Amino acid sequence: MKATPFIDTHAHLGSVQFDADRGAVLERAAAAGVMRIVEIGYDLATSRAAVALAAQHEPIYAVVGVQPNHVAELPDDWLDQVRALAVQPKVVAIGEIGLDYYWKASPAAQQEACFRAQLDLARELGLPVVIHSRDAHDDTIRVLRDAAYGLTGVMHSFSGDWRYAEHCLEIGFSLSFSGPVTFPKAVDLHEVVRRTPLDRLLTETDSPYLAPHPLRGKRNEPANVRLIAERLAALRGMPLDALVDAVWRNAKAIFGL
C-alpha cells in the first residue's frame, strides 16, 4: 500500500531553528508520508538558501522572492537577483510576496511597488506566486485585481473570513491553510474550509511557525502537515485520503512539481 502523499506547500527549513537537526526533521517528514516540501524565501538570503536546499534534497522545491517586511533593506539590483534565482532548477514560484500592515516594516507605497514588480516578474517568467497578506486584505485584493491578470497563485496561511476568501477565489487563487485552522476557536477559518471548492485547497505548515493543535507554541515542522490535513478532512466530512489526494493534485497543478 502506497504512502499517503502529504505535501507541505510552505516551509522555512533554512531557518536557524533547524540548524541543529535539519536532517532529522526531513527524516520525520518522510516517515510521516510528506513527499514534497516547498521551501519559501522571504528575502534575498533565504531565497538563495531555498535554491540550495532544493538542490541538496530531492523532496524539496524552492520559491524565491522578497516579503514585504524585508523591502526596506533591498539593494538597487534586488529584482535582477530575484530573476537570476527564479530560473534556477526546482524553483516553482515567486514568493512570498505581498503586503504586511501589521509590522509596518516599510511604508505601504514601498511595499506595493515591490509587490507589483514581483507580480510582473512572475508573469515574465511564467511562474505562479505565493502571497503574504497580513492586516492588508483590501489592498492585497486591489493590487491582485489590477496586476495579477494571467497569474495563478496561493494565498499563504489564509487567515481571513469568507468574504475575503471569495475575493481571492474570484481572482483565481487557491487558499493554503496552516496551523491556526486546527484551533477550536477559529470558526471563521472553519467556515472558509467548508465552503472553498476542493480544487482550491492546499496544506502548509509555515515551519518553524504556527504549529497546529495540540502542538501550539512549539517549533513546527513539515511532518505536522498531517494534523492540518486531518482537520481539513474532518471539517469537510470527507476521508483523509481523498482530501490529501486532492491537495496533491492542486499543488501539482499550481507548482508543476
73 pLDDT band, cuts 50/70/90, is confident
Q: Which three cell numbers stand for residue 112?
A: 506595493
Assess whether pLDDT exceeds 90 at residue 2: no
Please give, one letter per residue, the 3-state secondary structure of 163-188. HHHHHHHHHCCEEEECHHHHCCCCHH
Assess whether pLDDT exceeds 50 at residue 1: no
Angle, CA 73 vertex, CA 67 and CA 78 arms, to 5°: 70
**Does any domain span residue 147?**
yes
Assess whether pLDDT exceeds 70 at residue 3: no
- The rounded distance, in Å, linking the Cα atoms of 61 and 88 is 11
- The rounded distance, in Å, linking the Cα atoms of 72 and 122 is 21
93: domain CATH number is 3.20.20.140
Partners of 11 in the β-ladder: 39, 207
**Does any domain span residue 182?**
yes
Assess whether pLDDT exceeds 50 at residue 77: yes
Pair 132, 98: CB distance under 8 Å:
yes
Quickly list DSSP for 81-99: HHHHHHTSTTEEEEEEEEE
pLDDT at 53: 98
Tens of pLDDT, residues 97-140: 999 999 988 999 999 999 999 999 999 999 999 999 999 999 99
Q: How far is CA 38 from CA 35, 76, 110, 224, in A?
A: 10, 28, 27, 14
Pair 211, 174: CB distance under 8 Å:
no
Assess whether pLDDT exceeds 80 at residue 151: yes
Domain that includes residue 207, residue range:
6-255
Task: Give the largest CA-CA distance in the chain.
Answer: 53
pLDDT at 257: 83
**Does any domain span residue 1?**
no
Tens of pLDDT, residues 174-217: 999 999 999 999 999 999 999 999 999 999 999 999 999 999 99
Tens of pLDDT, residues 11-66: 999 999 999 999 999 999 999 999 999 999 999 999 999 999 999 999 999 999 99
| pTM for this model (two decimals) | 0.96
Tell me how many domains the chain contains.
Answer: 1
